[in-house]
Amino acid sequence: MTEGSLSGESRPDRGPLVGLPLLEDLPAVDGRRVLVRVDFNVPLGHGAKGEVVVEDDFRIRAALPTLSWLTDRGAEVTVCAHLGRPKGTVDARFDVAPVRARLAELAPGVAMLDNLRFDPGEEANDCGFVARLVQGFDAYVNDAFGASHRSHASIVGPPARLPSAAGMLLAREVGTLGGLLVDPDRPFVAVVGGAKVGEKLGVLRALLGRVDRLIVGGGMAFTFLAARGHHVGASLLDAGRIDGCATLLEEAGDRIMLPTDFVALGPGGTLGEGDSGRGEVRMAGADLPRGWRGLDIGPESAGEFAEVVVKARTVFWNGPMGVFEDERFAAGTRTMAMAVADSKGFSIVGGGDSVSALDHLGLAPRVSFVSTGGGASLELLEHGDLPGLEALRDASNAPSAGD
């Protein structure tokens, strides 16, 4: 979706953006109070004087176009967000003060509420909490793509009570990822990594219905390899998902690519950041010796995967190829990041650790689209919709699908 279509020049007629109210669907905001749900769940660290500061303000900067659109039109804007997992209690470790300070630098005049998750009503989707949250506001904007797969109070509650709209970031995320569901340029290659195969079997099945090749890496690859009869040593394995992986492999034929070699850590070895880990490291084939853990794809696999990615017309990548925080097991993820950046096709990186790898390597500017939500991007691709989007379509000011 182009930026022009976000300002009323055209409206999509297919995909998950259909029927979604956009900013121009709001009543006039001049002099009105607007509550904006943002995803400012950002990493915190310590500054030069020991103070707590925002380490990476990417998600804050991503919301600025929506905040500017509203304030330029005379709106009084307040944002709300969660930070970490305080589990419904006030916890000083998750105070949004550092985030509020950075927001004040980037968007002067925009206010910010306290951490939504300090109240148990947020994650419980409590009606009373919704009522308190929206009290005094005239309109609501959801610009928190990274949280829109959660049926939390601040995501699904306000559209039932206030004129509502998708912010520019949310609309751009949904329009871009939704394009993969409608008519991607081919060949379309998806690369999915990470640790937990159980969380991604659904999206892998959904992707298989759309992609030309599906590359599986990271810790989740070992359950697939076990389904093919390989010995995975002490590598990550979800024994309860072996049958599910076997079924998927049978259905996919040769469209699923699995690693054929690994960088493995010997028995008793430890992981660390940078070069702080300990233990013997060696290359191994698809069968790993007893006690050895595969922690990165090997150079042969990385080269084969990269060759397929570089030739793709559309690439979607979510999840690292190994434990890239430990430099001994970072080469596979680094090779994949470079291949995605070198692809001449349209490339999408789906949030989370993949984005961290891109940023670390300085490759993010060479990717067509970097998503702010890893889990949300996967759920949108799996189900074609999100709870936050469904709630917006039910708002009183939402356009009909025929508009």
Residues with a known catalytic role: 59, 196, 352, 375
Q: Are 94 and 115 in contact, with CB atoms under 8 Å apart?
A: yes
Task: For residue 305, give both structure tokens.
Answer: 């995967």
H or E stretch covering 78: strand 76-80
Amino acid in the structure at residue 16: P
Pairing of strands 44-46, 76-80: unpaired
Q: Is 236 exposed, middle or buried (0-12, 13-18, 19+ CB in 10 A)?
A: middle
Cα–Cα dist 201/203, whole Å: 6
Residue for token digits 């610009």? 143
Amino acid in the structure at residue 251: E
Q: Is 315 exposed, middle or buried (0-12, 13-18, 19+ CB in 10 A)?
A: buried
Task: For residue 9, give both structure tokens.
Answer: 């020049």
For 286, other C-beta atoms within 10 Å of its C-beta total 20
Cα–Cα dist 329/298, whole Å: 9
Closest CA to 112 of 25, 14, 37: 37
Q: Are 115 and 86 in contact, with CB atoms under 8 Å apart?
A: yes
Cα–Cα dist 153/385, whole Å: 18
Amino acid in the structure at residue 24: E
